[in-house]
Structure 1
Amino acid sequence: MATKTEESIVVVLYQDYDHGGGGNLGGGLAFCKHRASPANGDREEGNQCMLWSESSPTRIHVKANKRKQKSKRKASPPDSPRLLKKRPPLTELTNIAPNSIHERKHSSASPPPSTAPVAIVDDQHLDCDDGMMGSYLKGINQSDPESEISASSVASSQGFELRKWSSMYKHLRSLEVKHNSRPIANYVETVQKDIQANMRQVLVDWLVEVAEEYKLVSDTIYLSVSYLDRYLSSECVGRNKLQLLGVSCMLIASKYEDLNPPRVEDFCYITDNTYTKKEVLDMETDVLKCLKFDTRSPTAKTFLRILTRAAQDKDSSNDGDIRLDYLSSYLCELSLLEYACVRFLPSVVAASAVFLSRFIIHPEQHPWSSSLQLNSGYDPADLKDCVFAIHGFAVNIKGSYLRGVRDKFTQHKFKHVAATLVPPPEIPLELF
């Protein structure tokens, strides 16, 4: 009987002593992925090493060697019937240079939320695709298609829905500015002693792959990163516990958002059993205590659903509408990886993603309409810093070792927006 070998990918971020010259500890950093099959006989190996210089962190050189041979696989453990495929574990990140604060372009403080009156888009344009919040919003909009409603009834109903959505949007805006629901903008430099921003990038990118593997809704990954940043803003964590924190945050978020969340054993298995069930449950308890059991914090995805509907032009095609939805979602998920975006409010991130998406799709038009300004409560100048932060990361992500988000939105179901809709190298300052 043919057997199956369990594959594992070890992700290691280590100091490259040769890149900096001699034994200089200030040399480049090498990121390696090794895929190996532990069974005897034939095996498939693929080694991928990526070298990145601290002096030029956005330039990543890729070296890849692959050798494919036939392999035999053994059956998955019988006690994990839910598992589809073992994902790459994120191992301990070692030999990292000490934390350093880098000067960033467009690094001014995030503007405070606008106090301008906020109107909400017509309820028939709201499309809540997934998540518990999305299901709730969609349920409010459901109506009997066979019923006949008079024009006066429709006008009255729309007026009622308008007030209801406006009240909900204002409530979400008030929740996002609560003190205990916001992470510290520079927690890596001020709170953490053993963790760097690049480690956070590797972890979040891996969590995106895990969410895709278990078919979790997109809200789960947003909430997971929100819990992660809030916990790291108050608790110092060692790098050997960073992955444990990540899967524990996703465990909590999946219980909140998904109808059929993965089991604790699934999260242990997906880390190659690096952590035990007790360790995951203990970390889950610590996270909930740190969050004071406040798991309701709105994310950029919450605001993105409303703003993408407000951004749709009445005379635009359905294909253009779909591309705007997918491209905005892609840019929003990219912002989860960028540590510089932690300081921005979720509503600012969502509005900036829509701004940049409209500019990419229709560069000849101004990306910010009066409808968007009214519904978001932000002027283009309020979004300038966040737009530049997301744009810079989106331009440099091509060729990067961070492949989770990009590979996800290169799929056909997302219209290949990550590959076909490439952001321009520069954004005119006149737009702001």
Structure 2
Amino acid sequence: MKENSVTLKAGELPCRLTRARAAAFRASGQLPPVKEPAKQQNQKQPQLRANPKRAVSDNACLQRKKRAVLQDVTNVFCENTYRSCFNSTKIQGKKSKLAMASRINVSKVAPSAAAQQHVRVHCKTKSFPEPGLKSEDASCSINSENNALIRLSVKESGKDDKTHASGISPLPLISQKKAKKCSPFPIALRDPEIANIDDDNEDPQLCSLYAADIYNTLRVYELARRPNPNFMDTKQHDITQSMRGILVDWLVEVSEEYRLGLDTLYLTVYLIDWFLSRNYIERQRLQLLGITCMLIASKYEEINAPRIEDFCYITDNTYTKVEVLKMESQVLKSSGYQLFAPTTISFLRRFLQAAQASSKSPSLELEYLANYLAELTLMEYSFLNFLPSTIAASAVFLAKWTLDQSKHPWNPTLQHYACYKASDLKTTVLALQDLQLNINGCPLTAIRSKYSQDKFKCVGSLSPPKLPETMF
């Protein structure tokens, strides 16, 4: 063969050293034979590539690179496995420490990859425990490139959350004991006469942990986002209070037709009053304003809002799609694109929850009756003089009196959560009872017919006795 006849010149190595050439070199005496280990005689030898930039000596020896063995590759934390794996790579870490020190640039925001390799965590437990509060059971130390040692505990992290001087942000603790479940009920409310309606932490929709803060914020916004209660006298000259009532009564029927929620109805009436208190409008465009505000409220509150064509159809195509879109732009600009506003229904849910707390079982009749009384105020222009929270509290007050005259309808629990005394609600409750009894003979019957159905337990047909002055 030609490969066996190749001769090696002095000081020259071929580009590729094959086994045939190596046998020829050993036969000619130019390359000393290399003895293979006994264990690797039957194994296939890998092909070697010579580096032309480096001279090969006769004593050159190629060694296989050693790597640490991964003993556990699961996601389950194990203290013994973690320590054994850490010790197996400890020798390699010391060898590469000097080489890596010159290339590592510690970031001021988060630790680098090299710094994270030197994180040592000491835990007393062998599995991930539940979150807790005690600091003596958790600590961690971080070794950075400059051998600075940082010790972090729960006590230290609670005092100062700033970044440490070394530029490495503190890492979260891993081992902590389970904390005792503390009640969010304030000490000041631990009164046997006041029921805690925020003690149910199991239902996330109740927002029990921060419900009090939410309603405190709503109390502020009901003052800031309040329509002018005198816009009929100051701004509008072509429409009257009765026209507004007829529009709201018709919108109640539309909401029933399209099965819209109560929040949509209340927000619709709010947007109408907000626009009328700031913009003049002709009576021919009042219905256009009504369907446009309901369209906006449906987009805000509903999952599947009706289309523009549906609202045009409900008006017998009196208005076109282009007119609705133009009016929608005007309403949004008038409201500053801030559609959120606390309405009566926002506070009514909270006050009904407080009213049901003292009952042995929830009363659907009380809930339906309070909703009925609150909706009656939507048609009445004069109720713009009252705050939404006042109307909601008065609706609960009158609903409890309508269903049960044997005891006072206002208890300490309602007084605490509504932040109103019975004397504060006197004017509103008396005006609301006049609406319930229909003393003025209002011909609008959409809300009364709605709550006279069996699914609402016919609460629209209830007529309570006159409230005595001693109740306030």
State the one-letter code of the partner of 1:345: L
Distance in 2 between the 1:409 and 1:211 partners? 14
Q: What's the TM-score once normalised by structure 1's chain length?
A: 0.62
Q: Which amino acid aligns with 1:293?
A: Y
- The one-letter code matched in structure 1 to 2:387 is L
2:263 is the counterpart of 1:223: no
AA partner of residue 292 (structure 2): S
Give the distance between the partners of 2:223 and 2:427, measured in 1 at CA.
18
Does the C-alpha gap of structure 1 residues 398 and 423 become closer, same or farther in structure 2, counting only changes over 3 Å? Answer: farther
| Counterpart secondary structure, 2:341 | coil
Q: Is the 8 A contact 1:120 1:166 kept in 2?
A: no
Instruction: Give the deviation of 1:302 after TM superposition.
Output: 0.7
Q: What letter is aligned with 1:430?
A: T
CA distance in 2, matches of 1:216, 1:274: 22
SS at match of 2:210: helix
Shift of 1:253: 0.5
Question: Would you say the 8 A contact 2:260–2:298 is kept in 1?
Answer: yes
Partner of 1:364: 406
Residue identity matched to 1:307: F
Match of 1:410 in 2: 452
2:83 alignment partner in structure 1: none
Identity, % of aligned positions? 46
The aligned runs of 1:328-347 (5 Å cut-off) are 328-347=370-389
Tell me which residue corresponds to 1:168.
214
Match in the other structure for 1:140: 205
1:347–1:297 distance in 2 versus 1, CA, 3 Å: same
Structure 1: runs of 5+ lacking an equivalent:
1-116, 127-136, 142-160
After superposition, the Cα gap between the structure-2 partners of 1:262 and 1:120, relative to the gap in structure 1 and judged at 3 Å, is: farther
Match of 2:467 in 1: 427
Name the CA shift for 1:138/1:282 in 2 (closer, same or farther; >3 Å).
farther
* TM-fit CA distance, 1:388: 1.6
- How many residue pairs are counted as aligned between the two chains? 281
- What are structure 2's unaligned runs of at least 5 residues? 1-187
Distance in structure 1 (CA, Å) of the matches to 2:273 and 2:452: 27
**What do residues 334-384 of structure 1 show as CA deviations (whole Å, max 9, x unaligned)?**
010111101111111100100110111111211111000000101112111
For 1:116-140, what per-residue CA distance to the aligned partner results, in whole angstroms no more than 9, with x for missing partners?
x9999524679xxxxxxxxxx9753
Deviations 1:225-259 (A, max 9, x none): 00011111111111111100001110010111110
Distance 1:124 1:250 in 2: 36
Deviations 1:3-48 (A, max 9, x none): xxxxxxxxxxxxxxxxxxxxxxxxxxxxxxxxxxxxxxxxxxxxxx
Q: Which has the higher contact order (CA 8 A, sep 6+)?
A: 1
Which has a greater percent of strand?
1
Contact 1:224–1:253 (CA under 8 A) maintained in structure 2: yes
Indicate the residue corresponding to 1:349 in structure 2: 391
Matches of 1:359 and 1:385, distance apart in 2? 16
Task: Name the CA distance, whole Å, in 1 between partners of 2:198 and 2:373.
Answer: 25
Q: Structure 1 residues 196 and 423 mapped into 2: Cα distance closer, same or farther (>3 Å)?
A: farther
Distance 1:222 1:230 in 2: 12
Q: Which residue of 1 aligns with 2:328?
A: 284
Larger radius of gyration: 2
Residue in structure 2 matched with residue 191 of structure 1 by the alignment: 235
Tell me if structure 2 keeps the 8 A contact 1:120–1:169.
no
Distance 1:260 1:215 in 2: 11
